[in-house]
Amino acid sequence: MTIQSINPYNNKVIAEYQLHSPEAVEDILLKSEERFRQWRNTGFEHRASLMLKLAKVLKEESENYAKVISEEMGKPISQAIAEVEKCAWVCEYYAENAASQLADEEIETDADSSFIRYEPLGVVLAVMPWNYPFWQVFRFAAPALMAGNVGVLKHASNVFGSALKIEEAFRKAGFPEHCFTSLLVKSDAVASIIENSVVKAVTLTGSGPAGSAVAKIAGENIKKTVLELGGNNALIVLEDCDMDRTLETCMNARFQNTGQSCIAGKRLLVQDSIADEFVGKLVERVRALKSGDPGDRETYIGTLARQDLAEDLEKQVNDSLNAGAKLEIGGRREGAWYEPTVVSEVTSDMVMFQEETFGPALCVTGFTTIEEAIALSNDSKFGLGVSVFTRDVEKVVKMIPMFEEGAVFVNELVKSDPRLPFGGIKESGYGRELSANGIREFVNVKTVYIRK
C-alpha cells in the first residue's frame, strides 16, 4: 500500500511512499530491541560525540531539510530553517548535559550506601504531528537516545518525507542502524505497535482524542506515556505594558508557523482601558503580514497543512461571528490558505474562546482587573501556558500560583527551550519534555540500598 504526500500550497504530489507492512514493522521493532541491548551499554561520552555530529549535520543540511518541511506542510521557508537549527540546539544541549542529569544520586539513609540510578527503558515509540515535523521529533529523540534508549517514530502521514530525512540525519551522524527508525504506517497501526512487547514507552504530541486513545492502549499494557495535547493559551495584556514590545510579541505568539502551534497565544485578553488602542495597532500589523509562497524567504504566513484544517478554522471563526463577535480583519479562505484574522468582542462562551483554533486567527476579549483576566485565562479545558505583559513584574510574580498552567511567561511568548521543562496540565496532557525533567521521563529510577 502506498500514500501520497501533497504540497498544500499548490496541491502537487511531492512523493509517494510505500507503507511498511505488519511484517516489516515487526522486523524493525525486533531489530530496534536488539540495538537497544548494545546501545544501552555505550557511555555518555560516546553518545554525546554522535549527538554533536548530528547537530553539525542539521546545521549543514538546514536549508535542504527546511525545503522538505515547507513543501510538505506549508511552513514559510525561513521559519523552517529556524526549526531545523533549533533541533541542532537540543542535540547540543543533551550532549553537554545528559551525563550530569542522569548521574547517580547519593541519598543519605541508615544504609552504608544508598543511591539512585537512572537506567534506560528500551524501545520508545514517538507518535508525532505535522506542525513542527522536525522539532517535535528531536525534542523527544535527543534526550531519549542520550539516556540510552532507542526510538521508533510514527510520524503524521503528510510528513513522511520529514520522517525519512530525520532518520537520514541520524545515520549521517554515525548513529548505528535502528537507534532511530521511522515507521511509515497509518494511524490505525499505532495500537498494535503499542501493544507489541518490544515497545516499553510511548510519547505523543497531538490532539486530545489521539492522546486519550494512546493512553488507553498504553495503560492496558502497563506502559509509560508522556502526552502533549495542545493548548488555548491566553495573552494577558495589562494597561501598564510596553505597548510596542507587547504588540510585537503577541503577533509572533499568534501568527508564527501560520498559527499552527500548540503553544500559540490564541486568546488575547486586553485590559479595557487600552483595548481600543491596542487592537487598532494590532490590526495594522496584521494587515502588513506577507502571505504567499512558503518557499519565498519574505513570506510570513504560509498555507495551513491541509485544506480541511483551513475549513475547520473558517467554521470556528464564523460560528463566533454569528454569536455576536466582531470581525476586525481577515476571515477569507482560499483552499488551504486562511487570511490572518482578528476577531474582537469575543465572550467566554463562544467557540473561538473555548476551542483550540489551529491557524492564523486571534480572538480578543476585554477585562477590567487582573483577577478577572486570570479567571478568563483559567476558563479553559487546556492548561499549557500563559503570557502576561506588564511593567509591574513583581505583582504578577506574586499571582503566579493562581494560573492553572504548565508554564507562565512574563513579557514573553510561551516557547519551548531545551533548558526548561515543557508540558501542560488538564487536557493539555501530562509529563514533561526537555530539561532534566524530560530526559528522566523514560528511564528506570532505580533505588540501590547497601549494607556492608
Catalytic residues: 228, 262
Question: Which grid cell sits at 432?
Answer: 514533561
Question: Which grid cell sits at 288?
Answer: 502588513
Distance between CA atoms of residues 378 and 448, nearest Å: 42
Distance between CA atoms of residues 228 and 431, nearest Å: 8
Distance between CA atoms of residues 274 and 270, nearest Å: 7
Cβ-contact 386, 380 below 8 angstroms:
no
Parallel, antiparallel, or unpaired: how do β-strands 326-329 and 429-430 relate?
A: unpaired
Q: How far is CA 2 from CA 20, 129, 165, 184, 185, in A?
A: 9, 20, 18, 10, 10
Q: Is residue 301 exposed (0-12), middle (13-18) or buried (19+ Cβ within 10 Å)?
A: buried
Report the helix count and the strand count for the chain, using DSSP H and E.
Answer: 15, 22
Q: At 206, is the secondary structure helix, strand, or coil?
A: coil
Parallel, antiparallel, or unpaired: how do β-strands 199-205 and 224-228 relate?
A: parallel
CA 224 from centroid of its chain's CA atoms: 19
Distance between CA atoms of residues 276 and 345, nearest Å: 11
Beta bridge mates, 327: 343
* 383, 389, 392, 395: CA torsion to nearest 10: -10
The DSSP 8-state label assigned to residue 293 in this structure reads -
Element (H, E) at 2: strand 2-6
